[in-house]
């Protein structure tokens, strides 16, 4: 997983590029890494362009990441969901929990829009 910070807006936004699979074998790794990322920024974007498979454990991990981000008064936004992953998010109603954007750039911009609001 690649993590980098974006400072193009007045907020520091973390962008994490997720790996190909998130399942029971590596979801704990994601949760651990997320706790570290939170120390840099509470506003994080998951770039899912490479993500091809996610199971219920992986979904649970992403939801838990969202909860942690909200607890830190930030947000977790998803970008570039592939059709298969999108279908799983739809099936599990997880789509209703997240703000989902077509690509990482628009997800970052969405934080900027919020920041611009009075």
Partner 1 sequence: MKTIIITKKLDYPWLHDILPGHHPLLVPLCNKPFIEFFIDFSILAGSTAIRIISDEAINDVESFCEKGDRWGIAISYANSLPSDSLNKILEKNSRFCTDERIMIINNILFLHYNKNADYRSYFASLPSGDLPGFGKRTLSLTGSPLNSENSQETPPLSTVVLDSAGQYYQLAKDLLQNRLLHYVLPGYNNEAGCYIGRNVIIQKSAKIVKPVIIGNNVQILAGSVIGPSAIIGNNVIIDRKSTVASSIVMDNTFVGEHLEIEKKIASGNVLIDPESGLSLTMEDPHLLSSISQTDGSTTFLLRIVHSCIAVLLILILLLPYLLLRPILKSRGSWSTKQIIYHSAKPRCKVALPVTTLRKKGMLSTLAVFFSLDRFLWLFKVLSGHLDIIGSRLIEVNQESKAHYRPGVFSYAEAEDWPQNDSDSDIVNHYYAVHSNLFKDVAMTHKALFNRIHQENTV
CB of 13 vs partner 1, minimal distance in Å: 30
Report if residue 98 touches partner 1, rule: CB under 8 A.
no
Could you say whether residue 19 binds partner 1 (CB under 8 A)? no
**In whole angstroms, what is the distance from residue 80 CA to residue 47 CA?**
6
Q: Does residue 91 belong to the site contacting partner 1 (CB under 8 A)?
A: yes
The sign of the CA dihedral 34, 110, 5, 104 is positive
Q: Is 52 in the site for partner 1 (CB under 8 A)?
A: no
Which parts of this chain interact with partner 1 (CB under 8 A)?
23-24, 53, 55-57, 83-84, 87-88, 90-93
């Amino acid at each position: 997983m690649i993590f980098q910070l974006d400072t193009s807006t007045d907020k520091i936004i973390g962008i994490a590029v997720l790996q190909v699979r998130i399942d029971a074998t590596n979801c704990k790794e994601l949760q651990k890494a997320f706790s570290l990322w939170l120390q840099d920024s509470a506003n994080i974007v998951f770039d899912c362009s490479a993500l091809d498979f996610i199971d219920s454990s992986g979904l649970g991990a992403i939801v838990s990441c969202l909860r942690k981000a909200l607890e830190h008064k930030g947000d977790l936004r998803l970008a570039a969901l592939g059709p298969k992953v999108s279908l799983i998010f739809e099936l599990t109603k997880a789509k209703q929990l997240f703000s989902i954007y077509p690509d990482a750039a628009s997800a970052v911009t969405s934080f900027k829009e919020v920041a611009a609001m009075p």
